């Protein structure tokens, strides 16, 4: 994708994923991705000196996320030089829904936010539910920060969660370095009601 460059070597990526589960088990996901193109920083000086880099300062990329099949895209925002409001591609791929966007990452910070709902992502009923999330790392991608927040429906609390998740009532969080595939589970139950 033009402009072609190797600026990914001086560009970091941060992922922030928030998942809100509703009463019937649908999961509304908000993924905020932030790239920091460091070509103009002191750390980028060796790359600026390369003859193949020349005056290249913009990282061109095609960003994709694969989500559960039948997921519904509800919003796209962000972008670099050109604001984005829609994905370039929404298609079925290998039993999943693929959402893709072309964007340019100029020097400094560039963000992209996807919002989608995955139907019946949790096995849920009035007695509670279980939700499992798998996040797969793209091979060859440099490790970067990942923040995850899972919130269960109103009137429920998280009764059990995977090791590493911090649980506070209806919310489980995780702050980690995304350097390998990640699988987390939460089990939630109704809040207790106090009899009059």
DSSP character at residue 138: P
Residue 5 has pLDDT above 80, yes or no: no
Quick one: pLDDT at residue 186? 98
Quick one: pLDDT at residue 196? 52
pLDDT above 90: percentage of residues in the chain: 70
Quick one: pLDDT at residue 10? 87
Query: In the chain, where are the structural domains located?
Result: 7-190
* CATH among 3.40.1350, 1.10.3470, 2.40.10, 2.60.40 for 7-190: 2.60.40
Quick one: pLDDT at residue 3? 53
pLDDT band (50, 70, 90) for residue 193: low
Strands of the sheet containing 11-21, edge to edge, are: 72-79, 108-118, 27-37, 11-21, 144-151, 171-178, 166-168
Residue 2 has pLDDT above 60, yes or no: no
Element housing 48 (H / E): helix 45-48
């Amino acid at each position: 994708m033009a402009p072609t460059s190797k600026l990914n070597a001086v560009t970091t990526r941060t992922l922030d994923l928030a998942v809100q589960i509703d009463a019937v088990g649908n999961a509304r996901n908000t993924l905020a991705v932030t790239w920091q193109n460091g070509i103009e920083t002191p750390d980028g000086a060796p790359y600026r000196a390369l003859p193949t880099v020349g005056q290249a300062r913009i990282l061109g990329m095609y960003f994709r996320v694969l989500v559960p099949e039948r997921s519904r895209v509800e919003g796209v925002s962000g972008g670099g030089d050109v604001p984005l409001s829609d994905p370039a591609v929404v298609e079925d791929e290998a039993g999943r829904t693929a959402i893709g966007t072309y964007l340019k990452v100029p020097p400094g910070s560039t963000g992209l936010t996807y919002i989608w709902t995955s139907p019946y992502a949790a096995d849920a009923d009035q007695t509670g539910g279980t939700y499992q999330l798998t996040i797969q790392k793209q091979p060859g991608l440099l490790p970067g920060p990942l923040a995850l927040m899972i919130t269960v429906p109103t009137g429920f609390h998280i009764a059990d969660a995977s090791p590493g998740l911090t649980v506070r009532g209806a919310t489980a969080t995780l702050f980690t370095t995304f350097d390998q595939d990640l699988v987390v589970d939460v089990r939630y139950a109704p809040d207790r009601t106090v009899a009059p």
